[in-house]
Chains A and B, each alone.
Chain A
Amino acid sequence: MSQQETSAPQNPVPNVLIGIILLGVFCVLLGFGSIIAANWDMIPHYVKTGGGLLLLCVSLNAAFYFESHQNKTCKEVALFAAFWLIGGNIALIQQVYHLSISFTQGSLIWAICATPLLFFTKLTVMPILCTLLYVIGLLHILKQFRALLDWMLENYSLVAAVFFLLYLIGHIIRNHLRFANFLRTVGFVGMFGVLLIGDTADVQIVGFTLNILFLSMLSSANNQHDQPRFFNLLMIFVALRCVLAFWTAYSNLLSTGVALMLFGTAILAVATVIYYQKERFCALFEIGSLDDLIKSVQEKGKNNENN
């Protein structure tokens, strides 16, 4: 057997499936965390705040350790964990000291606190999440223009469509004008900002499902164009959208936790079925064999490297 044959993956898993699995795992873990959070009023306040800061300290230390040992993957994981722990700590302080902080205000504080981490990350995920937090935070300032904001939130699908149009225009003219990249970024961040917060005040199952479908279609479309980073980013937005919807749909942490775990398990079950029935799945969507698809993407990658 040649070296090329031995090194080739025996049963490679496509990006779409990995994304779906990660989404399921994310929901299950978050549901687990939510159930713990629902039962922790017995813990003294100083232990909670101290514990939160300790976890953040550990993740920052890990990021620094892996940075100096040039382990990029572990460093990025530690930074990403620190990013979420900052958000968690802000929520914790708000709860412990009974602070009246709105969602938009909290987002702005989170973005400001997390900004130093952006100097260390090499991935695009955290800067975009941070930009999104700044955009949501700016809504806090925009609240002074209440009527405009209310209209935007009521007609969030329309506003998201306008942002999507901006993104599309930017994408079409990307090779002709430098300004196009700016247009794409504004369109992208604006669209997902609006889709994320659009109906959090009053979750409707149709709106939520449409949002998820829309985001999933975009994810899958980008995956087919061989843009794994962008696909991963969109999957993160899908995950965020799920979490926001569950938080607003259920008023208590315990039911949110259980619902998220069930939702995550259902996603994992779907992923398992797709994995074991992949030939039927491919036939259903008329995309040929998944192995062929992977081979063609690998060949495409090789051609790009040669060029």
Chain B
Amino acid sequence: MKTIKIVVLFLPLLLLACWIMYMQNQVTTGRPVELPITGYDPRNLLSGHYLAYTIDWDRADCSQFEKGICPRRAFSRAVRFYVPENYASALDARLRQNNGRFSVIYSYHKNRRPIAKQLLIDGQDWKKVIVK
């Protein structure tokens, strides 16, 4: 009875730990793919402290994927990038001015949800560009 109690009580911890391990595995073992992005809504590019965007499939290099076909559906729900608050306004201004070529590096597994890893501006990590 005591063991069952412990298992049930610690179930939330187990669930969350498994989720984190799954996500970390996805990030480390996935194939990196780079996709260009544009603002989702020009009036609300930075919703809170994350960047809401859409992938610019017209400019995307589909040769990164199998058979050269872009899996648009798989990326339809991976369109958010969290940014530290200190840099949010600078990034927002840059996006509004359309200053630079924005792209996101994803960790991609076939048949799994891709995970955004890095935001790039003109091929450089966004923090380096914004801090400059």
Contacts and interface: CB of A to CB of B under 8 A. Distances in A.
| B is a partner of A | yes
Interface of A: 38-39, 41, 49, 53, 56-57, 60, 63-64, 67, 82, 86, 89-90, 93-100, 113-114, 116-117, 119-120, 251-254
- What does DSSP make chain A's interface, helix, strand, loop or mixed? helix
A74 to B, nearest CB: 15
Interface in B1-33: 5-6, 8-13, 15-17, 19-20, 23, 27
Contact of B88 (A49, A93, A252): A252
A85 B93 CA distance: 34
Contact of A120 (B9, B17, B19, B50): B9
A53 B20 contact: yes
Contacts of A114: 12
Given A60-B9, A251-B48, A252-B49, A93 B19 contact: yes
B82 interface: yes
B15 A113 contact: yes
A98 B12 contact: no
B85 A254 contact: yes
- Using C-beta atoms within 8 Å of the partner chain, give the interface range for chain B: 20 to 34
B80 A49 contact: no
Given A38-B85, A64-B6, A93 B11 contact: no
Interface of B: 5-6, 8-13, 15-17, 19-20, 23, 27, 46, 48-50, 77-82, 84-86, 88, 115-117
Contacts of B16: 53, 56, 86, 89-90, 93, 113
B9 A117 contact: yes
Contacts of A63: 9
Contact of B10 (A39, A60, A99, A100): A60
14 contacts: A60-B10, A64-B9, A86-B12, A98-B50, A98-B78, A114-B12, A116-B12, A117-B12, A119-B8, A120-B8, A251-B48, A252-B85, A253-B85, A254-B85
